[in-house]
Amino acid sequence: MGEFKYLLESNNFHLVIITETWIRDEMAIISEMKFNGKYESVFANRQKKKGGGCLILVHNDIPLKINYSTTKFGCEIINLRLNSQNFIQILCLYRPPDCNIRNTKKIFKFMEENITQRTIICGDFNIDLHKSNNNSNLNLSDIFLDFMSRNNLTQHVKDNTRENSMIDLILSRPSELISQVKVDEPFSTSDHNKILFSIDAQCPKEIKNKILLRNLKTKTFDKLNLDIAANDWDVLLSIVFTSNDKYNIIIQNIFELFNKHF
């Protein structure tokens, strides 16, 4: 966790997407994942067995809407919308290696229903496009490439992301939504490479209301009390006759003195 905090502090990432988090809902680490309010964290945690899981961290300057984070057809998936000037749909998927062809088709169909004109799909698909001509991988690659073709998606990762395989992928529609893709060295003890990329989007910062607090120091109260005591209350109260008017004059004068000191 310390290494991860350092990674975030050393870089100005606006979006961090992680798969195979191995996090469960009951783990204490979940409460630490907002990093002092810098990020909004969205989890899709595996419940029935170890491993898997997805996490998206969105910088708190970027307004977002969480559509869902769930497990479907043996895969973990997150869908959220970045409220940029033109909305961007972000999907993160972890598809485990043992996900069969039937469930693979179902999860792609499920994602297809959520693809908009500006969509980014990231994740660990466990489908190696570098071995698409391998018989054991042929059906999965065909399913994946057909999914891309039907939805006019472009795949941006060109290098291996885990040893000699390319299974961590970034898709977008339109193609120019993603740029400057770089497969970097693995993070910490992970056996997957980091992938850095830029998104072509302008996200308006959320306007946060300022809360102004009075500086209520003891020494300032002492000065206020001296000013209140110095008032000639007999003269001030002699110009009115009802108890209500006298009360209003007292409150008005004290309030003016309070604003003077605080």
Sorted by sequence, the CB contacts under 8 Å of residue 108 that are 6+ apart come out as 143, 144, 147
For the segment 148-163, the average pLDDT, to the nearest whole number, is 95
Question: Predicted confidence band at 210 (pLDDT cuts at 50, 70, 90)?
Answer: low
Helix axis angle for 101-112 and 135-150, nearest 10°, is 10
Alpha helix (H) residue ranges in 113-242 = 135-150, 218-230, 233-238
Length of the chain: 262
pLDDT of res. 49: 80
Q: What is the mean pLDDT of the chain?
A: 86
pLDDT of res. 260: 78
- pLDDT tens for residues 227-252? 888 888 787 788 878 888 888 888 88
pLDDT of res. 212: 64
pLDDT of res. 253: 82
Which structural domains are found in the chain, ordered by start?
2-199 (3.60.10.10), 218-261 (no CATH)
In terms of Cα–Cα distance, which of 209, 208, 210, 206 is closest to 62? Answer: 206
pLDDT of res. 135: 54
What phi, psi does 82 have (nearest 5°)?
Answer: -85, 125
Single pTM value for the model: 0.73
Rounding to the nearest 10 degrees, give the CA dihedral for residues 125, 127, 128, 129: -100
Question: Predicted confidence band at 176 (pLDDT cuts at 50, 70, 90)?
Answer: very high
Residue 131: is its pLDDT beyond 70? Answer: yes
For the segment 99-117, the average pLDDT, to the nearest whole number, is 95
61 vs 255, higher pLDDT = 61
Residue 222: is its pLDDT beyond 90? Answer: no
**Distance from chain centroid for Cα 111:** 20
Respond yes or no on whether the N-terminal peptide bond of residue 204 is cis (omega within 30° of 0).
no
